[in-house]
Amino acid sequence: MTSVFRNGRLRDGRSVDVPVDVVVDVVVDGGTIVEVLPHDPSTPVDGPGTVVDLDGWLLLPPMAEPHAHLDKALTSESVPNPTGDLPGAIDAWIAADERGQFTYDDMVERVDQALRKLVLNGVTAVRSHVNAGGGAGTWHLDATRAAAARWAGRIDVELVGLVHTPIVGPGSDDNVAALRACAATGTLIGGCPHLEPDGDAAIDLALALAAEYAVAVDLHTDETLDPSMLTLPRLARRVIATGVGRNVTASHCVSLGMQTPETQAEVAALVAEAGIGVVTLPQTNLFLQGRGRPTATPRGLTAIAALRDAGVVVAAGGDNVQDPFNLVGRSDPLETAALLVMAAHILPDDAYEMVSNDARTVMGLPPVRFEVGDPADFVAIDAPSVRGAIADAPADRVVVKCGEVVARTSTTRTIC
């Protein structure tokens, strides 16, 4: 059934057959945009479909979260991280997991709450890394899937099996079995090759399993300020050699930001040739990295400019939200975009692309540019511009998924 979303304001630069930055009506049928017309308030809308008045709000592509940890979300109070750094977060989480602090039902409810936050904020797709192996098998994945099922039709949830190290060498059998069990259900292959005793062998295993089970790969890569740790070019060379194609994502890539401009450009060209997507994660890496460097503290971000200049698709995600790896976070990509503006010197329009269409591209989803044939996924927000939306992050939003309104927030603020 046809639906019409009336009176929405396009931002500058949209490629449609109407003047830019004008008020439009978006006509949707079967989850697809079929027309984008200049809005004429005097024109009646006939037919049996739904009519939604967007009240002149800014109309934007939907936001996406390309890197979350839903199974860990909202545990800041129950799993404290006394050191505040990455080893402290890992140790705190493993200790809590091993003492049985988490239950299946608790995890389902926390993931449900985390997904609710994402949907209300305008996210229609999320990729989440979920812990597996280490003697725990795949029950975190089972709990996360159970929660995701409650949100079917409102948000697409893609899972990555983040298996304990090692996945190669002594002590890896249970972890490899868990990784295979994840892949057999269509879960993406995850891992941390820079933490493995043999990073090259771990990369080869991840790519081999991805080919065997026909799933994509998303690896935590070089999440360290140590410039001597640089597995990203090795990953790129193996992707090129194996012909895996554009189904590989490298997340974090922090140490690339510590290299010389020449090395950054060389590695970026290699990553572009391999077709690897990169996800930078400013919230968690600003929190975790650099604590031992009180002078000229590094920001813990990858070489975003060099990668983008080389043609690499660079998306941005929120990563951890209110857990030992990041004590804060609102599950709102506009918060991530604001950090890109402030910490990475990215212009607002580019920052929004990195948390919307670029994130969708990394996840294998088509972009939304309000052209005929695009998916009818978008968000309307009560803001004057993209810059204003990032700056104020207004809660007032209408979220549309497959042509249906799936969330709406309206606030009242009063000065007394």
pLDDT band at 369 (very low <50, low <70, confident <90, very high): very high
Give percent of the chain above pLDDT 70.
95
Average pLDDT over residues 61-68: 98
Within the chain, all domains assigned CATH 2.30.40.10 are found at: 3-61+368-409
pLDDT band at 55 (very low <50, low <70, confident <90, very high): very high
Is pLDDT of 33 > 70?
Answer: yes
Is pLDDT of 19 > 70?
Answer: no
What pTM does this model have?
0.95
- The neighbouring-strand residues paired with 58 are 9, 381
C-alpha to C-alpha distance for 409 and 395, rounded to whole angstroms: 6
C-alpha to C-alpha distance for 319 and 289, rounded to whole angstroms: 14
Within the chain, all domains assigned CATH 3.20.20.140 are found at: 63-362
What integer pLDDT is reported at residue 217 of this predicted model? 97
Cβ atoms of 172 and 201 within 8 Å: the answer is: no
Furthest C-alpha separation in the chain: 73
What integer pLDDT is reported at residue 99 of this predicted model? 87
C-alpha to C-alpha distance for 69 and 61, rounded to whole angstroms: 23
pLDDT band at 47 (very low <50, low <70, confident <90, very high): low
Grouping H, G, I as helix, E, B as strand and the rest as coil, residue 404 is strand
Average pLDDT over residues 9-29: 70
Is pLDDT of 368 > 60?
Answer: yes
Grouping H, G, I as helix, E, B as strand and the rest as coil, residue 396 is coil
Is pLDDT of 44 > 80?
Answer: no
Spatial neighbors of 105 by CB under 8 A, at least 6 apart, are none
If one compares 259 and 16, the residue with the highest pLDDT of the two is 259
pLDDT (tens digit per residue) in 76-107: 999 999 899 989 998 999 899 888 899 999 99
What integer pLDDT is reported at residue 48 of this predicted model? 64
What integer pLDDT is reported at residue 45 of this predicted model? 66
What is the architecture, at CATH level 2, of domain 63-362? Alpha-Beta Barrel (3.20)
Is pLDDT of 18 > 60?
Answer: no
Average pLDDT over residues 312-335: 97
pLDDT band at 15 (very low <50, low <70, confident <90, very high): very low
pLDDT band at 164 (very low <50, low <70, confident <90, very high): confident
pLDDT (tens digit per residue) in 268-277: 999 999 999 9
The position carrying tokens 């309000």 is: 370
Cβ atoms of 18 and 59 within 8 Å: the answer is: no
pLDDT (tens digit per residue) in 110-156: 999 999 999 999 999 999 999 998 777 899 999 999 999 999 999 99
In CATH, what number does 3-61+368-409 get?
2.30.40.10
Q: Are strands 58-60 and 378-381 parallel, antiparallel or unpaired?
A: antiparallel
What integer pLDDT is reported at residue 42 of this predicted model? 79
The position carrying tokens 């934007």 is: 60
If one compares 71 and 47, the residue with the highest pLDDT of the two is 71
